[in-house]
Structure 1
């Protein structure tokens, strides 16, 4: 039992510290005894699911000295979780902790505790980046730390210089006010505490400390990238976006983004070339192309429905068509096809489908798209090789940029290289997915554990396991794999048919067989080429590849082929933008609700498929 007069509680978070914990406890007691009255403090060893002899050592120390308490956990709580539990059980009104490796010089402990105990500050923290003391930080630790602190200051509005130093103290009032607001229970815990304290108006004292690195710390992929980085973004969203967003603003912003998407098309193309191209085209056939292209969207919704059904969720085709429209509109606005993530938000917000399943279903869809257009392009190329080898030679010359102007040549060469690489990757991805679906070995966990030994590993491994498992479930069902593949072929055939109608709109007199072959090849290669992130709207590399192939295989000039490509792409983008705007209005999308996963406002609950 602790004495009733305890004023200060010092927590030592410990995980597998058998070699050092006894010396750390004794050093802590000696330091506290030098400036605090006897019986006014306690030292709590918060050992967090240790796998060595730390629990036995801590229990012995607590039995030998009534100033020492032992907080035990059979399972890993995470650094923040262990601190939360220990501080809640602590007796003191002043709560402090520091890393058990004693990297921070213990002569600073009195200043840390007295800053809070005296009432001058609500929180106190040591800093390795304030001039005044020495912090021997090697580059592999210093550079990531400075980057992290810069991100916290810039994105979260903190005024502190060092958020990660494991040398902090809190008043009981500040801790109890903040602890339920802090969501992270791992390495970001103390950073979030400091940031929220400043936003709440608590006084935070930051002072320089002498700090010497101990042990072999390293930049950890899982902890630093997936853990710390995602937590900074979570807090940024909560502090700066969520308070100002609701369903109404989400819908308005979505519609405005659709307008921006259309406007961006005219930033990345030659407006004069576009006007000339449209002036030469038959508007009725261009409109017919738009109508034909529109028919592919319900098929996209149907395909996505089949993918989700394999993952255990039944949803309506029309709802999913709207979700696809919204995400594709986002891709026209947001570089690097990051708009795909919006669809995961929509199906989570409106149907409660987990984010891992949402992203896995998107991955499956993308693999099918890439595989389909690779097969279409490859099929035409094989046919040309067999029946028209001279034409293949001409294509090779065009791919090398022969006969084209400097800028056109560069764009065409880039398109060919990218399309070839993406095609190979698509085929390899399918082989890997199908092979892994038939393997019992858990490669996901092996890779994650190889990349990290941090407490985040279990969390991240489980998320990736679910993600990969969802992909494998679709690949393991041969009939579903074939059915979804057949739908993909129809979708991309309609895409090609749209381009062919635009061809005809320009009055080109070309044999139908040649037009079909060239259309499939040009559209497929163009779409493979634009997979690599480019400017919003995707204008540029698609047109370059399309025009180069058409002008090589058909009696059409490069300039005229470029005009056809521009009109074809704009027709498709206009349909996408219009459908996206209508779908955002219909579904009343709020990205805030989607990110927070507010299930109270779901329009319908997810319905797992019964086996």
Structure 2
């Protein structure tokens, strides 16, 4: 559409029935004070309102041909509503400001003219530059300054205020930027400004007089979950992803996989590993590795059952390879980034859509947590509740005191006590999460949406609730089918049973007699150790898995040969065997399937976006 007006002002409106008419009237009057009467338009971008805003916007548009009403039946989100309205606008200079008119309208001419004159491509009001007059109470000002500092630090922005709802754009510049802006909600303002700077557009930030309207406050879902995750996503897209060329990916992928071996030894202290292995029967250690390897086809079989319930098929060996690759990624990359690699692999090699890949992974994680919680979590919660872990920790401290490994001083009691507390928390969360999913599947009331609304009244909460609901719905599809639930559930128990058998063979390699009682203790120790290592909180370079394993084995056995140091050595070798098998399997699977680990991680960005888009369409 060729521009027929010089200036288009977009007013984002969500349930603004009480103020919309006055806002439009003031906007028209202000524009008339410095622009010819027919050279501008005002667009009400009404975003799925639940009050009388649509009727009022229709009336305003019928009364004045300079007013247009852009309606949406569904809630789009503030950013998406703005983007669609801007694309439909006619003006060469595109402007928007919040309908509460928090920014004094005497600044509107300055805002428009900075872009209309051709001096700048983007202009934004600011509450933090020198000369600004913003009445910001501490409960709003402190979070705002903290947020803007994070944006400046991570996204290398030169601006002081990214969220002031008072902005103007050159039409060509904005339309050039909109296709790359992904956020549909409150982060839209920040993303458009950051991308404008990165693209080399001239951005003006000028002081305004600003008075807060309403009782805005920090919102847990919107500000922490929403805005924080969007900063990370944009940082990855602008600062990391462009550097991941094919050559860099292939080189880095090869290096990182081999570095994972070194990192594993550094994490577990090489001297401790060597000391622990000394005297152990290498043949039994090798047998333990073979037994652990046998659990991997079971993982592939379980994953096939999950995908089948989600209406997709896959062969066991390919799926086993995909799991090997993703678990290897978890050893190499932080924050379990390898999990998302599996969605990429099954999409790239078997055309399983990203949403299904992510959903199947989430279902698998739920059953993993459920299985290890069933194996050890109930007893652990009882020990923590009765203070039993503190007594065991004290006994270990009296027996061993502190241990120096590789120049690091480790207090086994403190490390193990922390591990037990973390494991108990994770186990409790797992139990509650599964209970909520099962109860939600049998009730008409939407517990997920009710829970999210209880901690947030922001519109962004609806989006978050939708994401959680889609995840819960996928889990419910497996849980609601008795046959699928039993197959996946028993498969999970079998997988973790082999994990325990691996540990028992390591016990035997250290000359410890494997009795029925020790077998029960091993089930408990391995289960809690896997719950504990979800959070990397262990001091002294020793993992939480080792700490939890040690405290349980020593505390619950009376074998004089099983001292704390021996138990720690067994835990180290057990964990090392499992990591080595995982890396070896990951290398083999990457060669077989021709997958670059870092390329797969880079593709996670596309995967996440595709999954979100598909979810929005389904909703």
Task: Give the TM-score of the pair, scaled to structure 2.
Answer: 0.85
Given candidates 498, 504, 508, the residue that maps to 2:508 is: 504
Confirm or deny that 1:596 pairs with 2:606: yes
Q: Distance in 1 between matches of 2:50 and 2:32?
A: 31
Identify the residue that residue 80 of structure 1 maps to in structure 2. Answer: 79
Match of 2:566 in 1: 560
Query: Aligned match of 2:578 in 552, 569, 572?
Result: 572
Structure 1 residues 180 and 486, CA, compared in 2 at 3 Å: closer, same or farther?
Answer: closer
Q: Distance in 1 between matches of 2:352 and 2:540?
A: 28
**Counterpart of 1:106?**
105
1:177 alignment partner, SS class: helix
Deviation at 1:212, TM superposition (A): 0.5
Which shifted more, 104-113 or 278-287? Answer: 278-287
Q: Does 1:472 align with 2:476?
A: yes
**CA distance in 1: counterparts of 2:395 and 2:193, whole angstroms:** 57
Output aligned runs, 1:517-528, within 5 Å: 517-528=520-531
1:139-175 Cα distance to aligned partner (Å, 9 max, x none): 3322332233223322322221112111111122223
**Could you tell me how far 1:66 is from its partner in structure 2?**
4.1
Aligned residues: 589
* Aligned residue in 2 for 1:604: none
CA 45–344 in structure 1, closer or farther in 2 if over 3 Å, else same: same
Question: Which residue matches 1:388?
Answer: none
Displacement of 1:104 after TM fit? 0.6
Give the aligned partner of residue 32 of structure 2: 33
SS in 1 for 2:278: helix
For the structure 1 residues 23 and 292, does the alpha-carbon distance in structure 2 shift closer, same or farther, using more than 3 Å as the test? same
Which residue matches 1:530?
A: 533
Q: Which residue of the partner structure matches residue 311 of structure 2? A: 312
Cα distance, 1:414–1:17 mapped onto 2, change above 3 Å: closer
Alpha-carbon shift at residue 133 of structure 1 (Å): 1.9
In the alignment, structure 1 residue 440 sits paired with structure 2 residue 444: yes
8 Å CA contact 2:536, 2:543 repeated in 1:
no
Query: Is the contact between residue 123 and residue 167 of structure 2 (CA under 8 Å) also seen in structure 1?
Result: yes
SS of the aligned residue for 1:162 comes to: coil
**Partners of 1:337 and 1:533 within 8 A in 2:** no
Confirm or deny: 8 A CA contact 2:9 2:43 kept in the other structure.
yes
- Report what 1:282 is aligned to: 281
How far apart in 2 are the matches of 1:351 and 1:76? 34
Task: Check conservation: 1:380, 1:520, Cα contact below 8 A.
Answer: no
Task: Decide which of 558, 582, 587 is 2:588's aligned counterpart.
Answer: 582
In the alignment, the residues of structure 2 paired with residue 545 and residue 115 of structure 1 have an alpha-carbon distance, to the nearest angstrom, of 63
Q: Give the Å deviation of 1:96.
A: 1.6
Q: Would the aligned equivalents of 2:121 and 2:173 in 1 still touch at CA under 8 Å? A: yes
Asked which structure has the greater RCO (Cα within 8 Å, sep 6+), the reply is 1
1:423 to 1:553, Cα distance in 2 relative to 1, 3 A: farther
What do the CA deviations read for 1:386-444 (whole angstroms, capped 9, x no partner)?
xxxxxx99998534435331512222333444444444444444443333333332212
C-alpha deviation, 1:183, in angstroms: 3.1
**Contact 2:326 2:341 survives alignment (8 Å):** yes
Q: Secondary structure at the match of 1:168?
A: strand
Q: Within the alignment, does 1:323 sit opposite 2:322 as a pair?
A: yes
Query: What TM-score do you get using the length of structure 1 for normalisation?
Result: 0.86
- Does 2:549 align with 1:546? yes
Shift of 1:368: 3.0
Tell me if structure 2 keeps the 8 A contact 1:310–1:473.
yes
Change (3 A) 1:154 1:351: farther
Find the counterpart in structure 2 of residue 608 from structure 1.
Answer: none
- Residues 298 and 128 from structure 1, CA distance in 2 versus in 1: closer, same or farther, beyond 3 angstroms? same
Q: CA deviation at 1:109?
A: 1.1
Asked whether the equivalents of residues 124 and 169 of structure 1 are also in contact (C-alpha less than 8 Å), the reply is: yes
In the superposition, relative to structure 1, how do residues 349 and 149 fare at CA in structure 2: closer, same or farther (>3 Å)?
farther
Structure 2 distance, partners of 1:125, 1:507, is 72
The residue matched to 1:97 in structure 2 has which SS?
strand
The Cα offsets for residues 92-145 of structure 1, whole Å up to 9 and x where unpaired, read as: 322222112111111111111111121111111111110102111123322332
Match of 2:368 in 1: 369
For residue 554 of structure 1, give the secondary structure of its aligned residue in structure 2: coil
Distance 1:154 1:494, change over 3 A: same
Task: Give CA-to-partner distance per residue, 1:316-369, whole Å, 9 cap, x none.
Answer: 222221222223223334455454344344444544545554444334333433
The residue that corresponds to 2:96 in the other structure is 97
Give the 3-state SS of the residue equivalent to 2:8 in structure 1.
strand
Q: Deviation of residue 213 (structure 1)?
A: 0.5
Q: How far apart, in 1, do the equivalents of 2:140 and 2:131 lie?
A: 20
Task: Pick the aligned partner of 1:490 from 489, 494, 499.
Answer: 494
Query: What is aligned with 2:392?
Result: 398
How many Å apart are 1:279 and its aligned residue? Answer: 2.4
**1:312-391 paired onto structure 2 within 5 Å:** 312-334=311-333, 337=336, 339-353=338-352, 357-377=356-376
Q: SS at 2:134's partner residue?
A: coil
SS of structure 1 residue aligned to 2:12: strand
Change (3 A) 1:99 1:554: same
Question: Aligned match of 1:516 in 510, 515, 519?
Answer: 519
Give the gaps of 5 or more residues in structure 1: 386-391, 601-611
How big is each residue's C-alpha offset from its partner over 1:505-542, in whole Å with a ceiling of 9 and x where there is no partner?
A: 2334x264455344334333433333443469994332
- The whole-number CA distance in structure 2 between the counterparts of 1:95 and 1:455 is 25
Q: Report if aligned partners of 1:268, 1:535 keep a CA contact under 8 Å in 2.
A: no
CA contact under 8 A between 1:322 and 1:583: conserved in structure 2?
yes
CA distance in 1, matches of 2:545, 2:573: 12
Q: Which residue of 2 aligns with 1:605?
A: none
- C-alpha deviation, 1:576, in angstroms: 1.3
State the SS of the aligned residue for 2:95. strand
Q: Distance in 1 between matches of 2:343 and 2:443?
A: 28
Which is higher, the Rg of structure 1 or of structure 2? 1
Distance verdict in 2 for CA 1:583–1:44, change over 3 Å? same
Pairwise CA RMSD: 3.4
Residue 93 of structure 1 aligns to a residue whose secondary structure is strand
Contact 2:95 2:167 in 1 (8 A): yes
How far apart in 1 are the matches of 2:179 and 2:528? 53
Asked whether the 8 Å contact 1:335–1:535 carries over to 2, the reply is no
Distance 2:162 2:565 in 1: 58
For 2:237 and 2:215, locate their aligned partners in 1 and report how far apart those are by CA, in whole Å. 35
Q: Counterpart of 2:120 in 1: which secondary structure?
A: coil
Give ranges in structure 2 of 5+ residues lacking alignment: 403-410, 611-619
Give the CA deviation at 1:470. 0.8
* Distance in 1 between residues matched to 2:416 and 2:228, nearest whole Å: 37
